[in-house]
């Protein structure tokens, strides 16, 4: 069975395979206090399960964006209050568009700040 190139999964478990750029943008724009995060996985890379980008909406309305392109040494995060930047970065990453890395101030991911960790 072939995997889709992209899979988007929301906090409630709903998922979409190979969304269009427009559909992905709508999903990112829908992040809210009730729909906190989404994850976009790339399955067309070596180590397919190690390539993703995710966006998480914080309580204060700002966003944390993380991407990983390989092992733990290639896992980065950035924060922004700008929902438009989040949409642009997530969709550009997913569709291999240039310039997404320059849009946010990336830092190496810190496990202690992961909102999914208890």
- Quick one: average pLDDT of 68-83? 91
- Domain total of the chain: 1
Confidence of residue 118 (pLDDT cuts 50, 70, 90): very low
Reported pTM: 0.88
- Quick one: average pLDDT of 79-104? 96
107, part of any domain? yes
117, part of any domain? no
Which residues constitute the domain of residue 12? 6-111
pLDDT, tens digit, for every residue of 26-75? Answer: 999 999 999 999 999 988 877 766 899 999 999 999 999 999 988 878 89
1, part of any domain? no
116, part of any domain? no
At residue 111, φ and ψ (nearest 5 deg) are -55, -30
42, part of any domain? yes
46, part of any domain? yes
49, part of any domain? yes
> How much is the pLDDT for 112?
60
Nearest 10 degrees: Cα torsion 114, 28, 14, 5? -90
CA 88 – CA 63 distance, rounded (Å) = 13
83, part of any domain? yes
Confidence of residue 2 (pLDDT cuts 50, 70, 90): confident
Helices 83-94, 21-29: crossing angle, 10 deg rounding: 150
CA 94 – CA 87 distance, rounded (Å) = 11
**How many C-beta neighbours within 10 Å does residue 34 have?**
9
Mean residue pLDDT of the chain comes to 90
């Amino acid at each position: 069975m072939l995997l889709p190139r992209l899979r988007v999964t929301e906090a409630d478990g709903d998922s979409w395979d190979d969304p269009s750029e427009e559909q992905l943008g709508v999903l990112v724009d829908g992040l809210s206090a009730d729909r906190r995060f989404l994850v976009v996985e790339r399955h067309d890379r070596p180590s397919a399960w190690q390539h993703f980008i995710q966006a998480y909406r914080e309580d204060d309305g700002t966003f944390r964006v993380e991407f990983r392109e390989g092992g733990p040494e290639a896992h980065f995060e950035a924060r922004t209050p700008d929902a438009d930047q989040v949409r642009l970065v997530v969709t550009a990453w997913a569709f291999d568009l240039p310039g997404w890395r320059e849009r946010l101030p990336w830092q190496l991911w810190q496990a202690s700040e992961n909102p999914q960790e208890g």
